[in-house]
Amino acid sequence: MSVAAIVITGVVLLQGYRDTAAIHAKLDEIIVSLNETRNDVVGLEHAEPEEIRDKLVELEAEASRTIGAARRELSKATGERS
């Protein structure tokens, strides 16, 4: 009985790995296909945790700057005060 449970667990884990790998491949394709993106995030799931954390901090800071700039542009375009 326990051997069957081990085999089933192994099959489930392999399927989960395939699903995750396929999702990563699809996301990598999206990143690569966009001209404005940086490709340095492709394969980041294989990096050390510290490297992933550093990249996340960098991306969040950049997103914050981009959102702030977009809000300022929108305020200028609509004549609103920020």
Q: 81 Cβ partners below 8 Å, 6+ apart?
A: 75
Task: Indicate the length of the chain as a whole number.
Answer: 82
pLDDT of residue 12: 72
pLDDT in the model for residue 71: 81
Confidence of residue 1 (pLDDT cuts 50, 70, 90): low
Q: Above pLDDT 70, what percent of the chain?
A: 84
pLDDT digits (tens, 9 = 90+) for 5-31: 777 777 777 666 777 877 877 777 777
In the three-class reduction of DSSP (H, G, I as helix; E, B as strand; rest coil), residue 80 is classed as: coil
Q: How many Å apart are CA 26 and CA 22, to the nearest integer?
A: 6
Q: Is 33 helix (H, G, I), strand (E, B) or coil?
A: helix
- Asked if residue 42 has pLDDT above 70, the reply is yes
pLDDT of residue 58: 87
Residues 6+ apart with CB under 8 A from 40: 55
